Structures are given as C-alpha cells and as structure tokens.
Amino acid sequence: MSNAQLKYQEAVDRLDEIIAQIEDEGVDVDELAMQVKEAVELIRICKAKIDKAELEVKKVVDDFAKEAKETGN
C-alpha cells in the first residue's frame, strides 16, 4: 500500500511499530535511516490528515451556524 492511500489509524499503527524497532538497540544504522525516513513521511501524512480534518470540521460547523442564522431558527 502506498503511503498516500494510508488511513490515519494505519499510519499511527505503523509509527508505533517503527518506534518499537528504533527503541530496540540491535537495529542496524542503515535500517535505522530507512525507518526514520519512513517515520518522517508517516508523521507528515498524519499531520496533513489532522489539519484537513480540523479544517473540514470547522467548515461544517461554520456552515451550520450560518444556515441557522439565515433561517432564524
């Protein structure tokens, strides 16, 4: 699965997995670099998803408030 299609919860699960591996001292330096790279990408995706969700929620709430004001109910 490409990262772009990843669901938020899947991204977070993967991050947990990577953190657990990083915390394991036996991990190879080269592998570590790959994992960090993947983790950074996942963090960027999660941030974007959160930002997007926040914006959408704000829009829905605002629209609703505006609608309520217009109809006077």
Question: Could you list the residues that contact another protein (CB under 8 A)?
Answer: 8, 12, 15, 18-19, 22, 28-30, 32-33, 35-36, 39-40, 42-43, 46-47, 50, 53-54, 57, 61, 64, 73
CB 39 within 8 A of CB 18: yes
Closest to 39 in 3D by CA, of 14, 2, 4: 14
Nearer to another protein, 30 or 70 (CB): 30
CA–CA dist 56, 35 (Å, integer): 31
Tokens of 64: 């609703």
Nearer to another protein, 3 or 64 (CB): 64
Nearer to another protein, 3 or 57 (CB): 57
